[in-house]
């Protein structure tokens, strides 16, 4: 500068500039490539190293922490502001990642038939960090179980970071295949007008049926008396069988009276044969000393107690009936006056 007398002097001044702090933040706990061992955990840690600026330094984190080392951290992004003693400020951010949730997929094959042991379970671990180990309730370490019955099966899956999840899977079985028979008996032993039906419960719908070894649908009509075996097969090829006998509603397919009273009072006045099985027949009737007193057929279907125009007395009369099928039927009828 120059003073008022025109005298001047020159001086120099050194100005020193201090650089802002440089922050190096690192994740100190590494779990197979992740900063957190398990999904939702809080075992992460961050260490900050500061260079430059002028110590000492103060730390302010977005989670409220004020130190250079943070622990017990969960996944997320952490931001730190570092201020040196000159008031210079630097900012750094770092993100801690975590594995996805350790879980599993399962494929279950249920038991096919009631009370059998052919169920299967296959486990497919997902998430976490491979490789995985599986521990079943019985100590098995395979990813699958075979020959299973209806039950719950518990297991634990553990990943490479020692994270684990436990659960159980149920193997189902169908209820027992049961048959309830519903029949309509044939009218009599020689008329095939019966019916067989059944009510099926349990197993796995739909069902197929066989009757005495032949495939059929239900109900089955035109059934005769006899012994039958109904077999039911469900869609899993489970079977149930039921044997039963089917008898007639009445033992004989015809009715021949054992007495009648031809007194013309409107009740039981004729010896009349009732049937539904013969196309034709002939009948002869004899008295107690073997004399023929009546001869008729299906065209003359009743006897009125007369012989040659004369009424016959009270007594027992023997009859012989011959059908078109060659069957001969014998018996007695009592005539009452």
327 with 271, same domain: the answer is: yes
Domain annotation covers residue 224: yes
Q: How many CB atoms lie within 10 A of CB 13?
A: 4
Mean pLDDT of 67-86: 97
Domain annotation covers residue 314: yes
Cα 97 to Cα 149: distance, rounded to the nearest angstrom: 43
> Total structural domains in the chain?
4
Whether the per-residue pLDDT at 14 is higher than 50: the answer is: no
Cα 21 to Cα 62: distance, rounded to the nearest angstrom: 18
Domain annotation covers residue 136: yes
Domain end call among 171, 201, 224: 171
82 with 112, same domain: the answer is: no
Domain annotation covers residue 48: yes
The pLDDT, as a whole number, for residue 19 is: 78
CA distances from 319 to 118, 228, 264, 312, 322 (A): 69, 37, 22, 15, 10
Domain that holds residue 211: 178-246
Whether the per-residue pLDDT at 199 is higher than 90: the answer is: yes
For residues 19, 21, 24, 25, the Cα torsion angle rounded to the nearest 10 degrees is -160
- pTM beyond cutoff 0.75: no
**pLDDT tens, 129-181?**
999 999 999 999 999 999 999 999 999 999 999 999 999 999 999 999 999 99
Domain annotation covers residue 254: no
Predicted confidence band of residue 94 (pLDDT cuts 50, 70, 90): very high
Tally of residues, the chain? 337
Mean pLDDT of 257-270: 89
Domain annotation covers residue 13: no
Share of the chain above pLDDT 90, in %: 82
Cα 47 to Cα 26: distance, rounded to the nearest angstrom: 5
**Are the CB atoms for 153 and 90 separated by under 8 Å?**
no
**pLDDT tens, 282-298?**
999 999 999 999 999 98
Average pLDDT value for the chain = 93
Q: Are strands 194-201 and 178-184 parallel, antiparallel or unpaired?
A: antiparallel
Domain annotation covers residue 127: yes
Cα 78 to Cα 25: distance, rounded to the nearest angstrom: 10
Domain annotation covers residue 2: no
The pLDDT, as a whole number, for residue 188 is: 85
135 with 185, same domain: the answer is: no
Domain end call among 246, 277, 293: 246
């Amino acid at each position: 500068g120059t003073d008022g007398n025109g005298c001047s002097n020159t001086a120099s001044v050194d100005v020193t500039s201090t650089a802002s702090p440089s922050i190096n933040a690192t994740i100190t706990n590494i779990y197979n490539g992740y900063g957190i061992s398990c999904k939702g955990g809080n075992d992460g840690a961050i260490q900050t190293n500061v260079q430059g600026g002028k110590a000492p330094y103060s730390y302010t984190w977005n989670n409220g922490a004020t130190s250079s080392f943070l622990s017990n951290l969960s996944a997320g992004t952490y931001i730190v502001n570092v201020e040196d003693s000159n008031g210079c400020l630097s900012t750094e951010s770092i993100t801690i990642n975590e594995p996805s949730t350790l879980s599993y997929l399962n494929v279950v094959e249920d038991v096919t038939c009631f009370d059998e042991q052919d169920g299967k379970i296959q486990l497919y671990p997902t998430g976490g960090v491979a490789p995985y180990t599986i521990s079943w309730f019985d100590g098995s370490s395979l990813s699958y179980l075979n020959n299973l019955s209806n039950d719950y099966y518990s297991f634990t899956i553990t990943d490479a970071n020692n994270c684990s999840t436990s659960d159980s899977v149920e193997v189902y079985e169908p209820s027992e295949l049961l048959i309830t028979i519903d029949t309509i008996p044939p009218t009599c032993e020689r008329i095939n007008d019966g019916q067989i039906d059944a009510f099926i419960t349990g197993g796995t719908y739909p069902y197929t049926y066989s009757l005495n070894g032949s495939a059929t649908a239900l109900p089955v009509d035109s059934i005769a008396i006899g012994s039958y075996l109904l077999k039911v097969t469900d869609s899993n090829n489970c079977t149930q069988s039921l044997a039963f006998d089917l008898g007639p509603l009445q033992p004989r397919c015809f009715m021949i009276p054992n007495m009648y009273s031809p007194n013309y009072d409107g009740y039981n006045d004729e010896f009349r044969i009732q049937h539904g099985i013969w196309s034709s027949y002939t009948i002869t009737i004899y008295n107690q000393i073997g004399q023929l007193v009546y001869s008729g057929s299906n065209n003359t279907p009743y006897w009125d107690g007369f012989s040659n125009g004369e009424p016959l007395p009270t007594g027992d009369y023997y009859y012989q009936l011959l059908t078109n099928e060659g069957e001969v039927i014998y018996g007695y009828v009592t005539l009452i006056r």
